[in-house]
Structure 1
Amino acid sequence: MVDACRRLSRRIRLTTAHWNVTLASADGVIIGRPDAWYDDVGLAWEIDSRAFHYGPRDYERTLARNSRYAAAGILVVQTLPARLRDNPEAVAAELEKAHRAAAARPRPPVRIVEGS
């Protein structure tokens, strides 16, 4: 699935994505580890499969992660793997619009944790 994400990201020519990096707030609190991170605009892309996010504890962790993203001012695009496979054009359009929206506001004060 990561390969499909990388191909789509390159095809729509957004800014450089960082893959599976850990993000921290300005004070060092870990926020999350998005599948793709567009650092220049502060946009996270999460591929949230049912297999890893549907169980009760998994779902709780996903909601907590999304709340940390929101509290840090990070815009997030969430995509189901089946949607990426079946309707990549719609996913691409959403990602492009979210990237533009992220670029139109101040970048949140977050950073990539080195060595992640």
Structure 2
Amino acid sequence: MGFVDKLLPIEWAELLAMEESLKITGLNNWKNLELESDCASLVNRFNKRNNDLTLLGYRLREIHRQSLYFSFFNLRWAPRCCNKVFDFICNWAKVNNCNMDCNMDYPSEIHDIVLNEAIN
């Protein structure tokens, strides 16, 4: 988990997060990757990437090309109301100037909010 301190349009920020997720997944030799985004326009553009002639479309095609190395890859839209845990983790990483790989050994603050979200 980490953060980038840049001002970007939302689609480009989400794209950067996707690219970083691919890098981390590849570095750890993980074979499955499922990404969720509350940016419906980016998910729609990814699903129609072959028709998008913009620079963003090009980058999305590159992400798709890289995703072919995984046994499983999925990008799906998640409503913003379902992102409470992700929002907490991102804010926690930013406040704590943190850059870490959680796996299953993560701080108790994250554990508590994940359990609360799973129960509710």
TM normalised by structure 1 equals: 0.30
Greater share of strand: 1
TM normalised by structure 2 equals: 0.29
Greater share of helix: 2
